[in-house]
Amino acid sequence: MENDLRAFWMPFTANRQFKKNPRMFVAADGMYYQTSDGRQVLDGTAGMWCCNAGHNRPKITEAIGKQAKELDYAPAFQMGHSKVFELANRLVELAPEGIDHAFFTNSGSESVDTALKIAIAYHRANGEGQRTRLIGRERGYHGVNFGGISVGGIVNNRRFFGSLLNGVDHLPDTHIPEKNAFTRGQPEFGVERADALEKIIALHGADTVAAVIVEPMAGSTGVLMPPKGYLERLREITRKHGILLIFDEVITGFGRLGSNFAAQHFGVTPDLMTTAKGLTNGVIPMGAVLCSAKIHDVFMTGPEHLIELFHGYTYSGNPIASAAGLATLETYQDEGLFENAANLSSYWEDAMHSLRGLPHVIDIRNMGLIGAVELEPMADEPTKRAFQAFLDAYDQGLLIRTTGDIIALSPPLMINKQQIDELFETLSSVLKGLQ
Ligand code: PXG
C-alpha cells in the first residue's frame, strides 16, 4: 500500500502519516461520504467549504455530462460560448447592487490574484499609477499564490516562500477571545481594529494604496467573525481615501451565511468580490471575480480592437465549468438552499453552543451554517489535540476540518435538523473522549 501511494505528493497533508494509514473516500451522496472500508461519513464540512448543495446532485452531474458531449472546450481568449455569458449574468444578479461584471478563474487563489491585479491596473488606468500598495490582514487566508500569500496573514503559508510581494501591509486580526468568547453571531468588541487602517494609510500615504482585502468572515484561520460595525468602518475608511475594498467571498459566498454573499448579510458592498468553491458546488474547478461597473468601465476606453486587460487563463469560463456553475445556481434556487441555511441557523447556533462545558472547549463561535470550536492546546504540542479530534470523528463517522486547535464546521446547506443532531452527538462524544 505504501508503495502504491508514493507518487502523489498530497497538498496541505502530513504525507508520511497519511500514507501509513490512508483515509480514502470511494463515493458520496447527499450529506454523506462512503469510505473504502464501507462506512458512511457525515459531511460536516461540505468537502472543503465547497459542496454547498451536497453531493451527487443530479442537475449538476447531468449538466456536466451533457456539456462534455456538446461543446467540450472553447478558447477563452477572443472566442465565446453562450453558457459563460449566461453564468456571468446570473452571478451579477445574485451579487449586491453595484456589482455588475464577472471575470472567470479556476480557483479561489486565482480569483484573489486576479482581483489584486485588477485593483492595481484600475488605478493606473485611472491616472493613479502610484497606487500599488495592498493591505491584507493578520490571520487572513487568500489562497496560496504569491499575491494571496503576500496579503494573507498565516505565518506557515508565508515563511517558507521568500520575500513575497513588495509594498504589502496588514491590519490586525479581529480575534479577541478574552472579551468575545462564546459569542453567538457577531461579537460586540473589536470595531476599533478597523481604525488601524487609518494608521497604516497615514504611514504610507493614501495615494500609494490600491486596495484592502479581507475575508468578511475569516474561515480557514479558524472562523473569526467580524465585530459589530467593523466591516462598515473599513468601507467608510477605504471610500474616504479612494482605496478599493475587496471582499474575499470564496467561503462566504453562495449561501454559507444564509444570504447570497456575506456582502448582503452584513449590508456592506465592496468594490470587488472574489469567489470560487460553491460557484460550481466544488464539482469542477472554477472561480470568479465580481466587480463594479466603475472599475470595469475605466478599462473600456481606447481603440476597440485592443485588449483591455492583459490577464486571463486557458480555462477561464470553460464550458463544462460554466454548465456546472449554472446547474449549481439552479439547484440552490430550486431547493431554496440559502433559505434553508438561514432558517436553520438558530437551531445550528443552539447545537453549537450545547458543546460549551465539554473538556478543553475554550470558545465556540457561529454564524449562518458555520461554526468553530476552539480547544485548549496541549502543553508543548499545539494542533495535536484538534488533529486527534479529526481522526476520532472520522472513525466515528463524521468529517470535520481543523486548523490549529480549532475545529471548523460548515455542512452542506441541504442539512436537516436530524442530521444536525447526528453531527453534534458524534462531535460531543469525540470531545468527551479527548485526552
Ligand atoms: N480565499 C479564501 C477566503 C479561501 O478560504 C481561497 C481563497 C483559495 O481557494 P483555492 O480554491 O485556491 O483553494 C480559500 C480556500 C479549510 C480550507 O479547511 C479552506 C480553503 C481551502 C482548503 C481548505 O479551511 N480555502
Classify residue 396 by its DSSP letter.
T
Residue 215 Cβ < 6 Å to ligand 1: yes
Please give the distance, rounded to the nearest whole angstrom, from the Cα atom of residue 277 to the centre of ligand 1.
8
Q: What is the pLDDT of residue 18?
A: 94
Query: Ligand 1 atom closest to Cα of 251?
Result: 5
Indicate the pLDDT class of residue 3, thresholds 50, 70 and 90. Answer: low
Asked if residue 237 lies in contact with residue 194, where contact means CB atoms within 8 angstroms, the answer is: yes
Closest to 185 (Cα-Cα) out of 348, 367, 341: 367
- Choose one of 10, 45, 49, 249 to mutate for the ligand 1 pocket test, by most ligand atoms within 8 angstroms of C-beta: 49
What is the 215 CA–ligand 1 centroid distance (Å)? 11
DSSP single-letter state for residue 208:
G
Helix (H, G, I), strand (E, B) or coil at 15: helix
CB of residue 401 inside a 6 A radius of ligand 1: yes
Q: How far apart are CA 413 and CA 254, in angstroms?
A: 10
Share of the chain above pLDDT 90, in %: 99
Whole-number Å distance between alpha carbons of 159 and 369? 32
Sign of CA dihedral 214, 217, 223, 226: positive
CA of 221 to the centre of ligand 1 (A): 10
Dihedral angle sign, alpha carbons of residues 205, 208, 210, 212: negative
Nearest atom (ligand 1) to Cα of 110: 12
Helix (H) or strand (E) segment spanning residue 340 = helix 337-353
The finding on whether 248 has its CB within 6 A of some atom of ligand 1 is: yes
Closest-CA residue, ligand 1 atom 23, reads 48
Beta bridge partners of 273: 247, 290
Residues in the chain: 435
Among protein residues, the one whose CA lies closest to atom 20 of ligand 1? 220
Q: Is 8 left (phi over 0), alpha (psi -120 to 50) or beta?
A: beta
Q: Does an H or E element contain 109, and which?
A: helix 108-125
Asked if the model's pLDDT at residue 130 lies above 60, the reply is yes
Ligand 1, atom 9, residue with closest C-alpha:
108
Which residue, 249, 207, 259, 216, is CA-closest to 234? 216
Ligand 1 lined by 253 (C-beta under 6 Å) = no
Could you tell me if 405 and 374 are in contact, meaning their C-beta atoms sit under 8 angstroms apart? Answer: yes
| Model pLDDT for residues 60-78, shown as the tens digit of each residue | 999 999 999 999 999 999 9
% of the chain exceeding 70 in pLDDT: 99
CA 368 to centroid of ligand 1, rounded, Å: 18
pLDDT per position as a tens digit, 255-292: 999 999 999 999 999 999 999 999 999 999 999 999 99
Roughly how many angstroms between the first and final C-alpha of the chain, as a whole number?
Answer: 30
Residues pairing with 367 in the sheet: 370
Q: Is the CB of 250 under 6 A from ligand 1?
A: yes
Establish whether residue 103 lines the binding site of ligand 1, counting it when its CB lies within 6 angstroms of any ligand atom. no
Q: Which atom of ligand 1 lies at the shortest distance from residue 277's CA?
A: 11
291 to 70, 111, 244, 329, 348: CA distances (angstroms): 31, 12, 11, 19, 32
Phi, psi of 238 (to 5 degrees): -65, -40
Instruction: Give residue 116's identity as a one-letter amino acid code.
Output: L
**Ligand 1 centroid, distance to 50 Cα (angstroms):** 9
Q: What is the Cα gyration radius of the chain?
A: 22
Domains and CATH numbers, the chain: 15-53+336-432 (3.90.1150.10), 62-334 (3.40.640.10)
Ligand 1 atom with the smallest distance to the CA of 220 is 24
> Mean pLDDT over residues 340-358, rounded?
98
Nearest atom in ligand 1 to the alpha carbon of residue 148 is 7
Average pLDDT over residues 138-159: 97
Q: Averaged over 141-155, what is the pLDDT? A: 97
What's the grid cell of residue 173?
486580526
Q: Which atom of ligand 1 is nearest to the CA of 285?
A: 11
Cβ-based neighbours of 55, under 8 Å, separated by 6 or more: 28, 29, 30, 31, 32, 33, 43, 412
Per the structure block, which three cell numbers stand in for 162? 521568500
Measured in angstroms, how far is the CA atom of residue 218 from the centroid of ligand 1? 10
Q: Provide the residue type at 103 as one letter.
A: F
Angle at the Cα of 337 from the Cα atoms of 284 and 213, rounded to 5 degrees:
65
What is the number of the ligand 1 atom nearest to the C-alpha of 401? 18
What pLDDT sits at residue 435?
A: 87
| Per-chain mean pLDDT for the chain | 97
SS (H, E, C) 21-88: CCCCEEEEEECEEEECCCCEEEECCHHHHCCCCCECCHHHHHHHHHHHHHCCCCCCCCCCCHHHHHHH
Ligand 1 site, residue 147, Cβ cutoff 6 A: no
3-state secondary structure of 338: helix
What's the average model confidence in pLDDT over 320-333? 98
User: Does the beta carbon of 247 lie inside 6 Å of ligand 1?
Assistant: no
Q: Let me know: does 186 contact 226? Beta carbons within 8 Å.
A: yes
Q: Quick check: 265 and 259 in contact, CB under 8 A?
A: yes
- In this predicted structure, the answer to whether residue 2 has a pLDDT above a threshold of 80 is no
From the CB of 108, is ligand 1 less than 6 Å away? yes
